[in-house]
Structure 1
């Protein structure tokens, strides 16, 4: 099957099951559809490890000052929790942006790796935790077969076949350009895994004052090595990462609990309301109140 015909089939299935603009969970574990019927404004999210296959339209993702554009038949891979800014740049009512997101499970990746001969696996030093690749026809075919299970009449088809096809997708990713990123997700002692543990520590303590020395010790790295690898993977320093997490969490609190900016800022670790409002406006482009009012009318892409 030619690459574009595979993409057309993927787009047709996603159009059928993407019920609304934004992200929609499917009956297949870890699989979501994403749709937008118009270009979007920049959307700040904390993107978890996943691979996103674009079937229609075009999108850009920003990590710090780096821009990643992707369109069919490309896919985006994220190997560690990253605060990014996503923006659909090509979409319409007649031809919406359509994407399939498969969340990456380290345990499943590890199982697949154990069945691959070590000589077939690639290895490389830690790299940025986000990248774009072009999907070969064999990989796209597996993705289409996975999402086609949404049409299955028997639940048992999805229960039995979906895990098998997910493993095939991971296998084909391991045999391609993104092998190193997948391996690093799975290996407990990899540098990416250590940075992942540091990210988890910062996320769980985002409202507290953290010392980089303590985080480095927690993941068994020297401070200099930790700084270097953290910036390599996330494109920012640990304190810059914590600031973005704080501001995104404050945004969620104001949306979900209708908190005022001062209260939300205090809850995420800010002592000065003016500093919180200043840094919030710098990141999101609007004051906290104006930004939250605007967000209430936007689809959820998380």
Structure 2
């Protein structure tokens, strides 16, 4: 049995082979599925995502990323994506990235400066034997809960160290950067997330980010693979879908709640993103709820 197969077996044991588990280890979640999934639309936050069995693809804007037991996914920003499990059985994990832990480790290890210019916020890197070993030791701590408080931070620190020294280390340094273009783009992203129901003025957003409108548009798309308006639209539509599914809102009310003035425009854009009008889409989700649980 290979090391990555052993990690997959652990994940399947703790999840029961199907579903999601937010573990007792801070920032660590496990996922498993017995079948490939339909596309799911979620907001990713900075995280390391590892597939130990099967494969998955993630689309951000027009950029497609595929990861599997040989390649991990690194996310350095908050960004709406479309994800799909393409090969099953599937076993994966997500370790949310803490910028404070990263910043402290960068200072201690002299990992180098953050990139001068923003890099795309999602990328695929090579999964090494050392990373698999550290991640397996972290997951195994679920078998000994009394050890988690003392030993999980050590394993997490090693994982972050391996990432910083690996082929996507520059993206991690970008997460911890306190200034520069990436900081400005993150300021724009945060504003859109907090004010997605409001009309979006590129000029006003550029002022918030302390950039010119042209620089904002250029660097925002470079990082997220979409324009600020496209980013806002995906945030709005994902929230509207949640309102309809979880709070039983009707489509018109949900559209109005997220900032749409025209029901027809809302229905048209909803169908374009999710592949079906609201009523049919929600009926499909309720018939296959496991789709929503797979990271």
The TM-score, its normalising length taken from structure 1, stands at 0.93
SS in structure 1 of the partner of residue 109 of structure 2? coil
The answer to whether the 8 A contact 2:114-2:177 is kept is no
Matched residues, number:
292
SS in structure 2 of the partner of residue 52 of structure 1? strand
Change (3 A) 1:32 1:220: same
In the alignment, the residues of structure 2 paired with residue 11 and residue 32 of structure 1 have an alpha-carbon distance, to the nearest angstrom, of 13
Does the alignment pair 1:261 with 2:257? no
In the alignment, the residues of structure 2 paired with residue 150 and residue 190 of structure 1 have an alpha-carbon distance, to the nearest angstrom, of 39
1:200 match = 190
Q: 1:144 aligns with which of 136, 144, 162?
A: 136
Q: CA deviation at 1:22?
A: 3.5
The answer to whether the 8 A contact 1:48-1:79 is kept is yes
In the alignment, the residues of structure 1 paired with residue 117 and residue 3 of structure 2 have an alpha-carbon distance, to the nearest angstrom, of 33
**Worse-superposed segment, 60-69 or 277-286:** 60-69
Does the alignment pair 1:101 with 2:91? no
1:158 match = 148
In the alignment, the residues of structure 1 paired with residue 18 and residue 185 of structure 2 have an alpha-carbon distance, to the nearest angstrom, of 33
1:215 match = 205
Structure 2 segments unaligned to the other structure (5+ residues): none
Q: CA deviation at 1:298?
A: 2.1
The answer to whether the 8 A contact 2:4-2:69 is kept is yes
1:240-279 map, 5 Å: 240-279=230-269
Structure 1 segments unaligned to the other structure (5+ residues): none
1:229 match = 219
1:189 match = 179
In the alignment, the residues of structure 2 paired with residue 51 and residue 65 of structure 1 have an alpha-carbon distance, to the nearest angstrom, of 21
**Worse-superposed segment, 183-192 or 38-47:** 183-192
Q: CA deviation at 1:211?
A: 1.2
The answer to whether the 8 A contact 2:255-2:263 is kept is yes
Q: CA deviation at 1:121?
A: 5.8
1:273-288 map, 5 Å: 273-288=263-278
Q: CA deviation at 1:124?
A: 5.5
Q: 1:31 aligns with which of 5, 28, 47?
A: 28
SS in structure 2 of the partner of residue 12 of structure 1? helix
Change (3 A) 1:211 1:140: same
In the alignment, the residues of structure 2 paired with residue 189 and residue 283 of structure 1 have an alpha-carbon distance, to the nearest angstrom, of 34
Change (3 A) 1:121 1:188: closer
SS in structure 2 of the partner of residue 15 of structure 1? helix
The answer to whether the 8 A contact 1:58-1:90 is kept is yes
Residues 56-98 of structure 1, C-alpha deviation per residue, up to 9 Å, x if partnerless?
001111112222111112111111111111111111xxxx200
Task: Say what the alpha-carbon RMSD is for the aligned residues.
Answer: 1.5
The answer to whether the 8 A contact 2:76-2:171 is kept is yes
SS in structure 1 of the partner of residue 125 of structure 2? strand
In the alignment, the residues of structure 1 paired with residue 45 and residue 16 of structure 2 have an alpha-carbon distance, to the nearest angstrom, of 22
Does the alignment pair 1:6 with 2:3? yes
The TM-score, its normalising length taken from structure 2, stands at 0.95
Residues 106-137 of structure 1, C-alpha deviation per residue, up to 9 Å, x if partnerless?
1111111110125x567453121101111111
**Worse-superposed segment, 176-185 or 191-200:** 191-200
